[in-house]
Amino acid sequence: MKTALPFLCLCCHLVAHTQDSTSKRPVLLFAVAIYDFAKSYGTSAGVSIPFHSIISQKHHENMRTETRKDQFVSMEAGIDRRPFAYTSAYVNVGMGIRFAKNEKHFTELSFEQGVLRTFYDGAVYEQQPDGSIKELTLFGRTYATTSFSYAQIWSISYRTNKAWFILVKPCIWIQYPYNGFLKPHLSLQGGVSYHLGNVIVHTRTKYKHQS
């Protein structure tokens, strides 16, 4: 049994080892327009900063492919408008992983946690202790939010330094506590991203050779 597993590995002709180093990875600014089903629309802007990178290199006969996973933290702020209901402002912070097989296209999977504040449309009335009705200004509610998103991002720059990207990002998020429960949302975001600069991140490179 002791030799069975190494033997099986040898049968697969795989050798893997890792190497730690540092590399420069881009800080991305992004601005997106948002359509939140149904009938809400808005915009948000933010930044994502990588802090760790994993590079997987596969060598197969004469070919070599490289997959890069950049882990990043992000922060965004935005506003959302729902006609005949409210306008909301929010701030989210989160973490994610960016998967890239080449410099022209990559994907992002991210999780964010945030705070959302609504401001109701029109006047808001409240009864006072004396029974009179008072109009409140800028009244709304504060909610926590949690979101999961998956973005597809393409380079639109033709120069060697890929500075501009477009992105499409479906997102599922929940708002809570909403009437003692939670309110689900489904949104589609589309916009641009800009390669602001590079930061030095810790990189772990994994090599896989297959003959």
Partner 1 sequence: MRYCAALIIVTVSLSFTACKKEFTGLSVHANEIFWVTNNGADMPVRVMGNTSSKVIILIIHGGPGDGSFDYEDTKTERLREKYAVAFWDQRNSGASAGNNNLDALSLPQMINDLEVVVKALKVRYAGPDIFLYAHSFGGLLSAGYLVKDSNQSAVKGWIDIDGAHDYPLTNTLSRKMLIDTAQSEIDKSHYLLEWQYILDYCNSHDPLSSYKVSSQVETYAHQAEYYMGIQQNYSLSLAEDPFDELANYYTMYYSSAGIDFLESLELLGYSDQLYKIKTPALLLWGQFDFVVPPAVGENAMANLGSAYKKMVLCPHSGHHPMETDTDLVEDEIINFIESFR
Residue 6 or residue 131: which is nearer to partner 1 going by CB? 131
Applying CB under 8 A, which of residues 23, 27, 35, 43 lies at the interface with partner 1? 43
3-state secondary structure of 84: coil
Three-state secondary structure along 44-66?
A: EEEEEEEEEEEEEEEEECCEEEE
- Give how many residues touch partner 1 by CB under 8 A: 49
- Does position 177 interact with partner 1 (CB under 8 A)? The reply is yes
Cα gap 38→109, rounded to integer Å: 23
Residue 79 or residue 97: which is nearer to partner 1 going by CB? 79
Paired sense of beta strands 164-178 and 142-155, if any:
antiparallel
Tell me which residue has tokens 């989160």: 94
Applying CB under 8 A, which of residues 109, 196, 199, 201 lies at the interface with partner 1? 196
Containing 6, the helix (H) or strand (E) segment is: helix 4-12
- Does position 188 interact with partner 1 (CB under 8 A)? The reply is no
Applying CB under 8 A, which of residues 10, 19, 21, 37 lies at the interface with partner 1? 37
Q: Is the dihedral of CA 93, 97, 103, 106 positive or negative?
A: negative
- Does position 154 interact with partner 1 (CB under 8 A)? The reply is no
- Does position 81 interact with partner 1 (CB under 8 A)? The reply is yes
Structure tokens at 135: 């109009």
Positions that interact with partner 1 (CB under 8 A) = 29, 31, 33, 37-40, 42-43, 45, 79-87, 118, 120-127, 131, 133, 136, 139, 141-143, 177-186, 191-192, 194, 196
